Amino acid sequence: MTARATRKARPERPAMSEDYNFAYLDEDTKRMIRRALLKGIAIPGYQVPFASREMPMPYGWGTGGVQVTAACLVPEDRLKVIDQGADDTTNAVSIRRFFERTAGVATTTRTREATLIQTRHRIPEEPLREGQILVYQVPIPEPLRFLEPRESETRRMHALEDYGLMHVKLYEDIARHGEIATSYAYPVRVAGRHVMDPSPIPKFDNPKLSGNAAIQLFGAGREQRIYAVPPWTQVVSLDFEDHPFTPSKADAACDLCGAAGSYLDEVITDDAGSRMFVCSDTDYCTTRQAEGHRGRLNREEVA
């Protein structure tokens, strides 16, 4: 190991950027993660095992995504971090601060200005472009897990393209609820080969996975898996002929910016149960408002 690789963070002292290697992880670890990423890019949708490291944050905070981000960052990057579409949640703020401190990279909340976006549970509304990287935080990478708990067996199913079980899950949904009730982490088939869990994004976002110009990388820290969707890859959501996939959302427009085609969060606004719908993608919403778009509850500001 190099001297640099053995240099450790010293948590008992106030954190200073000189205490860490660039982006916290040592170079050997980053190389190991990059090798896994390259393999993932070469075999779209295939889960590559990697030796996940302890990160100075709990697993639930997306340590897999953080490690992938750390392995991809270069000093010229401009980083955006979102959690459920928002840049200002505790999780997003902490991860952004973490990389500001350990990598000194510039950050932004603007999708179009970012070179690397780490996300939990959403794909930005604004179409991504070539050269951008989208890093997903993944809790459970194995889409077959809920029906087949044995890892040896799910691995063999992937190897042999034995995916009948995935449709059994959808069959069960329809039998029980009259429709495919899966609305998050909706399974997809990547490049006509591997079945993949797209992480808990709403199924509304599934179409954006396909033919996307950006590099999409997925990191699961606790489960130690990395997978990827290269740019312009076909990603198909699984379904039945007589129960086709539908990327649904609330049947409303954003009450702040008026967008009719973006994914909405429902917000309770008072004790009487009044509700409003707002874009879950806060950057998209504020950008639209800045451009003069107005929603139902935002009209007076026009004047």
Partner 1 sequence: MSPLLRVESLGKSYGARLGCAEVSFDLWPGEVLGIVGESGSGKSTLLGCLAGHLAADSGRILYRGRDTRAMSEPERRMLARTEWAFVHQNPRDGLRMGVSAGGNVGERLMAVGARNYGQIRAAATDWLGRVEIAATRIDDRPRQFSGGMQQRLQIARNLVTGPRLVFMDEPTGGLDVSVQARLLDLLRGLVRDMGLSVVIVTHDLAVARLLADRLMVMKDGHVIEQGLTDQVLDDPQAAYTQLLVSSVLQV
Q: Binder to partner 1 among 241, 291, 300, 301 (CB under 8 A)?
A: 241
Q: Is 257 a known active-site residue?
A: yes
Handedness of CA 45, 46, 47, 49 (dihedral sign): negative
Piece of the chain touching partner 1 by CB under 8 A; list 19-27, 73-81, 237-245, 289-297:
237-245
Among 53, 145, 171, 298, binds partner 1 (CB under 8 A): 171
Identify residue 32 by its one-letter amino acid code: M
Q: Is 23 helix (H, G, I), strand (E, B) or coil?
A: coil
Which residue among 35, 53, 167, 249 contacts partner 1 (CB under 8 A)? 167
Catalytic, out of 72, 85, 254, 258: 254
- Beta bridge partners, 218, equal 136, 227
| 172 binds partner 1, rule: CB under 8 A | yes
Compute the least distance from the CB of residue 165 to partner 1, in Å: 7
- Contact pick of 5, 140, 165, 191 for partner 1 (by CB under 8 A): 165
Dihedral sign, Cα of residue 160, residue 232, residue 251, residue 86? positive
x-marked contacts with partner 1 along 127-156 as a string, rule CB under 8 A: --------------------x---------
And the tokens for 51? 């030796």
Q: What is the DSSP letter of 43?
A: S
Q: What DSSP letter does each residue of 113-160 carry, written as one string?
A: T-SEEEEES---SSPP-TT-EEEEE-S---TTTTT---HHHHHHHHHT
Which residues of the chain form contacts with partner 1 (CB under 8 A)?
Answer: 147, 160-165, 167-168, 171-172, 174-176, 239-243
User: Which residues does the annotation mark as catalytic?
Assistant: 45, 254, 257, 279, 285
